[in-house]
Structure 1
Amino acid sequence: MPTKSNPLSLRDEQKLQTRAKLLDGAKALFAERGYAAVRVDDITAAVGCSRATFYLHFASKQELLRAIAEQGTAPTALHFYEDLDRVLDTGSRAEFVDWVARAIAWFQEYKDLLPAWDEATALEPEFRELARQGILALPNAMTSYLARWPADRQDEARLRVELLVAQLERFFTRWAMQGTIDVTADRAAEVLAEIWFPALQAPTT
């Protein structure tokens, strides 16, 4: 990592700037057209670089989308479920409602890229595996929650979190993107909490 005594060279600075431009340009195109319709040539044209320059930074369009996910959504999603672990520790339904509302707002922040991720997951086996690993990482980040479940029900405990993720994603798609669910975000958070707050409680016996 560069320091004040060992700064980046001009060449390295230019490489970082080009990479950032490729990420930003691809993000805009994926948001506008989805994943399948965007070609490497479209990305290079938007950024104003050559295909050779693109392939210096990314092996494929798929790798570029993965970098976008790793840059923004994956770390913040993990943080959300670490925070859910804290919320469940409080035992407060009101805090859980607030968490669901924040989760809905998080989906809103990344709304424009969701169709591209869904397309890539359907089309690219490697991206599908990456998405699967990402979902598996969420319950694993909830160490306090898992500790409350007996050893022989750990898989069930993880599955409950994975199903929560799936329902939040599906609700958001139908509500914000398709417009087929007519409800306010606050009311949705209340009803989702009604379903999921008890469902995430560890068994008492």
Structure 2
Amino acid sequence: MTDAQRPTLRQQQKQRTRTALLEAARRQFVERGYAAVTIDDITTDVGCSRATFYLHFSGKPDVLRRIGAETAQQRAVSVYAELDAVLATGSRAEFTEWLRRAVDWFEKNRDILPVWDEAVTLEPSFRPIAAEAVAELPAAMPRHLQRWGEDRRDEARLRVGLLVTQLERFFTRWAVQGTLDTADTDPAVTLTDIWYPALLPPEARHPSVGD
């Protein structure tokens, strides 16, 4: 990196402040809930002014969007791009293993998921942000969309969106709320029974060799 490309001290400080605001907002949202946290709470935590906050973010929905953008991008790249490859194998067993890894992803991000849901409920301006995050996931699955064909592309996207929604609700009720008892069953196997055929184009719904 040349001297011209290297960030100035002012730019470095600005980035540190932005990162500190994001970290403070995430910590407080997780600990107290989205509604209870104010911009003053976040700025007091960091030790900066409201004016500084508004140099970086337009408000609470925007700061949560920035927090969620990193999570959503990680999901699109590491989880749903992998699903695209798994579906291309034609293996139910591989799909079951993918579901287990997807649940692991939810476990790693379980602290922010209730905050996201709360913001969607309370902030009308946040709903398009949440909808866009889900809509981006099929874009990480080009082979899957191609298998459905151009004339059925919207249906393929909808099915991926429904899968996302059910996995989120399943994880919330099972692991976060504890209101869904799976007893001695393996939820990944049950979810495979539901979702593996549902994601395949009708003409591809036949038993796979080697499963």
Same fold by TM (over 0.5)?
yes
Q: Distance in 2 between matches of 1:186 and 1:22?
A: 43
User: What is aligned with 2:109?
Assistant: 110
Aligned-partner Cα distance in 2 for 1:185–1:81: 28
What SS does the corresponding residue of 1:112 show, helix, strand or coil?
Answer: coil
SS of residue paired to 1:8: coil
Shift in alpha-carbon separation, 1:108–1:5, aligned structure 2, 3 A: same
Counterpart in the other structure of 2:11 = 12
User: Given the alignment of the two structures, is residue 137 of structure 1 paired with residue 136 of structure 2, yes or no?
Assistant: yes
> 1:5 is paired with a residue of what secondary structure?
coil
1:50 aligns with 2:29: no
Give the deviation of 1:36 after TM superposition. Answer: 1.0
Aligned to 2:73: 75
SS at match of 2:121: helix
1:1-205 correspondence to structure 2 within 5 Å: 3-6=1-4, 7-70=6-69, 72-79=70-77, 80-183=79-182, 187-204=186-203
Secondary structure at the counterpart of residue 34 of structure 2: coil
Whole-angstrom distance in 2 between the partners of 1:37 and 1:168: 27
Distance in 1, matches of 2:159 and 2:183, equals 25
CA distance in 1, matches of 2:61, 2:158: 28
The amino acid of 1:67's aligned partner reads R
Moved more, 56-65 or 141-150: 141-150
Contact residue 89 and residue 144 of structure 1 kept, 8 A: yes
The one-letter amino acid paired with 1:163 is L
1:132-166 C-alpha deviation (Å, 9 max, x unpaired): 11211212321111111144332222211111111
Q: Tell me if structure 2 keeps the 8 A contact 1:88–1:96.
A: yes
Residue aligning to 2:207: none
Q: TM-score, normalised by structure 1?
A: 0.92
- What secondary structure does 2:179 align onto? coil
Q: Kindly provide the amino acid, as one letter, of the partner of residue 3 in structure 2.
A: S
**Identity of matched residues, %:** 54
Which has the larger displacement, 179-188 or 42-51? 179-188
Q: Quick one: distance in 1 between partners of 2:7 and 2:135?
A: 37
Letter in 1 for 2:16: Q
| Separation of aligned partners in 1, 2:173 and 2:165 | 12
1:88-128 CA-to-partner distances (Å, cap 9, x unmatched) read 00111111111111111111111111111111112222321
Instruction: For residue 201 of structure 2, give the secondary structure of its aligned residue in structure 1.
Output: coil
Instruction: Provide closer, same or farther for how the CA distance between residues 56 and 150 of structure 1 changes in structure 2, counting only shifts above 3 A.
Output: closer
Q: Which moved more, 1:84-93 or 1:180-189?
A: 180-189
Q: Compute the displacement of 1:82 (Å).
A: 1.4
User: 2: CA distance between counterparts of 1:185 and 1:52?
Assistant: 54
The runs of 5 or more residues in structure 2 that have no matched partner are 205-211
CA distance in 2, matches of 1:163, 1:12: 42
Long gaps (5+) in structure 1: none
User: 1:34–1:113: 8 Å Cα contact kept in structure 2?
Assistant: no
Q: How many residue pairs were aligned?
A: 202
- Contact map agreement 1:104 1:185 (CA 8 A) in 2: no
Once the 2 structures are TM-superposed, how far is the Cα of residue 62 of structure 1 from its aligned partner?
A: 1.2
